[in-house]
Structure 1
Amino acid sequence: MTILLIAEHDNHELKGATFPTLTAARQISQAGGGDVHVLIAGHDARAVADAAAQLPGVTKVLLADAPQLGEGLAENVEATVLTIASAYGHIVLPATAYGKNVAPRIAARLDVAQLSDITAVVDANTFERPIYAGAAIATVQSADPVKVVTVRGTAFDPSPASGAQATVETIDAAADVGAVRFVGRELTKLDRPELTSATIVVSGGRGLGSGENYQRVLEPLADRLGAALGASRAAVDAGFAPNDSQVGQTGKIVAPQLYVAVGISGAIQHLAGMKDSKVIVAINKDPEAPIFSVADYGLSADLFEAVPALVASLG
């Protein structure tokens, strides 16, 4: 059956998580047959629909444009999806905060099991997903008439942003559910790359000792590399770094080209969020730290000496 991809966007442009999610949707399509449709649920979002129509492999874009969809409230997005869900065999979303908010509601209303955080497509009904903080990979199969699937973006290559021209069809949005009201949104403005989309990430752990050291030691390195700043849960819990910088099972999942772990021991919960990085560099004074088991390059040294020396060598 046809696959419905619910795109994540801000009413102006598609979010980066949509592109690897499309790759997964196309793999499902190739395995089981059927077209890929994209739903744009928003307000004044015609430009986003036109951009989605250019995505390779997409045969139709459905645009639900209404004020109640403008802020992406999960209850209203869910209600709109339910009006068209019967036409689809798979409903696919990115495993982001947005997708994790919307997908369970859809699955519950359809009375089907959700397939969460998939990392590989075996066939149209069978998928791989990590369990036990990534220590094991489960192969799961669903016989539900509609599969509600969230996709771990770091596990799939992003789809190109153009190369096709699908049709855009306007559909009616469901009425405002009325159960929630948008009050406000506080956006963090970053001078650095966004953590989940950065090609280089520098992360610090409890070994830094304080928030002052986190800034003093890591920021010069991140500046030289043009990197995003991350942190382990221990560093966040200790107040060294803000919550939105946490990398790990209960934080953000990243897979940059280069991941530099400074003063991070390498607990399994942290490894679950960064072990798919292309190159991992670890700096830790404990030669037995678990982080060295996944590192491509490891330096057992005092980080307060090693990191400034590394910054100096970078010119």
Structure 2
Amino acid sequence: MAEILVLVDHVDGAVRKPTLELLTLARRLGEPSAVFLGRGADAATTVLGEFGARKVYVVDAPEVDAYLVVPAVDAMTRIARTAEPAAILVPSSRDGKEIAARLAVRLDSGLITDAVDVHPGESGPVTEQSAFAATYLVKAHVTEGAAIITVKPNATTPEPAPAAPEVEHVTVEFSAAATGVTVLSRTPREKSDRPGLTEADIVVSGGRGVNGAENFALIERVADALGAAVGASRAAVDSGWYPHSHQVGQTGTQVSPQLYLAAGISGAIQHRAGMQTSRTIVAVNKDEEAPIFDLVDHGVVGDLFKVLPQLADEIARRKG
């Protein structure tokens, strides 16, 4: 079977959910091999094997953590030229898409970004992408070189397929460009019990209708009741009501959860572009003419300050 490379998204060896989704997709296409860059490979190998990785390439070099994305590109290029995979799957994060684009140039390969599904085809992997704010579903395949594909989180459900992966440590000669920019300092993210926005199965977002930073406590209450991530519209973050890191939309984070709950969000096109591929969409808005109601699966016309407390109470009651 053809080898399929999967770039591992991790935090000090803790493998993130999008990687497990990529391994699941990779098994459709061929034999998955994981590429682990940085520290913590020993802890990650067990998890990667549980989800079907037959091989784990490890590049444990200080350059990977000390600099920006170019060391990762150097490492991926080195491994890809040796392995000659049929496809390379990369998480659709900011870093992931930059790595994929640079890698495509180095390998003279075609690139597809933000796929929402991947299937085998006669001429290689066939992807599905949402286009024009998810108005259209586009199918595509790469016609030159190994297919390099970035896949959105929540594109599929991770499915275990236990394997005993072979571990291969790879030595990389990094280019001069790899050390051209030095990271001077790092600020750890504030820890939260909520899932990350791009990985969450459920996202609860607030918009202009929340009417103030202090009222986002209500959005957080519903999110915590559901075990969800908290999102916000551009209007809300531009008003300073919630951090920009939580913005959902074309100019923020694009999400595809199983459930997206929009509260007080009118449904402007730039917001829709960031959440319209969600499996189920529910909206609460007091304006029955709000554009958001054109794409929802379930809509509630009402005051969010009355609806959401009742929703939170009902969730708590059902949880017992």
Return the TM-score normalized by structure 2.
0.87
Deviations 1:241-276 (A, max 9, x none): 111111223322333343221101122332333334
Give 1:214 shift: 2.6
Is residue 166 from structure 1 mapped to residue 165 from structure 2 by the alignment? yes
Give 1:25 shift: 1.8
Deviations 1:213-262 (A, max 9, x none): 333x3233334333321111221222221111112233223333432211
Q: 1:256 to 1:83 in 2, by over 3 A?
A: closer
Question: How do residues 30-49 of structure 1 correspond to structure 2 at under 5 angstroms?
Answer: 35-49=31-45
1:234 maps to what in 2?
A: 235
**Mind listing any 5+ residue stretches in structure 2 that lack a counterpart?**
none
Return the alpha-carbon distance in structure 2 between the equivalents of residues 308 and 157 of structure 1.
31
Return the alpha-carbon distance in structure 2 between the equivalents of residues 256 and 119 of structure 1.
12
SS of the equivalent of 1:250 reads: coil
Give 1:150 shift: 0.6
Is residue 179 from structure 1 mapped to residue 174 from structure 2 by the alignment? no
1:32 maps to what in 2?
A: none
Aligned partners of 1:232 and 1:247 also within 8 Å: yes
Give 1:100 shift: 1.5
The percentage of aligned residue pairs carrying the same residue is 39
Deviations 1:106-145 (A, max 9, x none): 1122233311111223422432212222221222222112
SS of the equivalent of 2:54 reads: strand
Is residue 51 from structure 1 mapped to residue 51 from structure 2 by the alignment? no
Return the alpha-carbon distance in structure 2 between the equivalents of residues 278 and 119 of structure 1.
11
Q: 1:49 to 1:173 in 2, by over 3 A?
A: farther
2:17 maps to what in 1?
A: 16
1:92 maps to what in 2?
A: 89
Q: 1:180 to 1:290 in 2, by over 3 A?
A: same
SS of the equivalent of 1:168 reads: strand
SS of the equivalent of 1:156 reads: coil
SS of the equivalent of 1:121 reads: strand
Is residue 288 from structure 1 mapped to residue 289 from structure 2 by the alignment? yes
Return the alpha-carbon distance in structure 2 between the equivalents of residues 220 and 55 of structure 1.
34
Return the alpha-carbon distance in structure 2 between the equivalents of residues 258 and 130 of structure 1.
17
Aligned partners of 1:8 and 1:17 also within 8 Å: yes
Aligned partners of 2:202 and 2:259 also within 8 Å: yes
Give 1:72 shift: 7.2
Aligned partners of 2:209 and 2:265 also within 8 Å: yes
The residue type paired with residue 155 of structure 2 is: A
Return the alpha-carbon distance in structure 1 between the equivalents of residues 282 and 89 of structure 2.
34
The residue type paired with residue 269 of structure 1 is: Q
Return the alpha-carbon distance in structure 1 between the equivalents of residues 225 and 125 of structure 2.
46
Q: 1:135 to 1:229 in 2, by over 3 A?
A: same
SS of the equivalent of 1:273 reads: coil
Aligned partners of 2:58 and 2:168 also within 8 Å: yes
2:4 maps to what in 1?
A: 3
Q: 1:43 to 1:307 in 2, by over 3 A?
A: closer
Deviations 1:198-220 (A, max 9, x none): 333221011222222333x3233
Q: 1:262 to 1:91 in 2, by over 3 A?
A: same
Choose the corresponding residue for 2:59, options 60, 64, 68: 64
Give 1:44 shift: 4.6
Question: How do residues 215-226 of structure 1 correspond to structure 2 at under 5 angstroms?
Answer: 215=217, 217-226=218-227
Aligned partners of 1:233 and 1:246 also within 8 Å: yes
1:78 maps to what in 2?
A: 73
The residue type paired with residue 252 of structure 1 is: T
2:143 maps to what in 1?
A: 143
2:203 maps to what in 1?
A: 201
Choose the corresponding residue for 1:102, options 91, 96, 99: 99
Aligned residues: 307
Q: 1:192 to 1:142 in 2, by over 3 A?
A: closer
Return the alpha-carbon distance in structure 2 between the equivalents of residues 8 and 223 of structure 1.
25
The residue type paired with residue 149 of structure 1 is: I
Q: CA RMSD in A?
A: 2.3
Return the alpha-carbon distance in structure 1 between the equivalents of residues 179 and 106 of structure 2.
17
Question: How do residues 110-129 of structure 1 correspond to structure 2 at under 5 angstroms?
Answer: 110-122=107-119, 123=121, 124-129=124-129
SS of the equivalent of 1:195 reads: coil
Deviates more, 1:201-210 or 1:124-133: 124-133
Return the TM-score normalized by structure 1.
0.88
SS of the equivalent of 1:173 reads: coil
SS of the equivalent of 1:183 reads: coil
Give 1:71 shift: 5.1
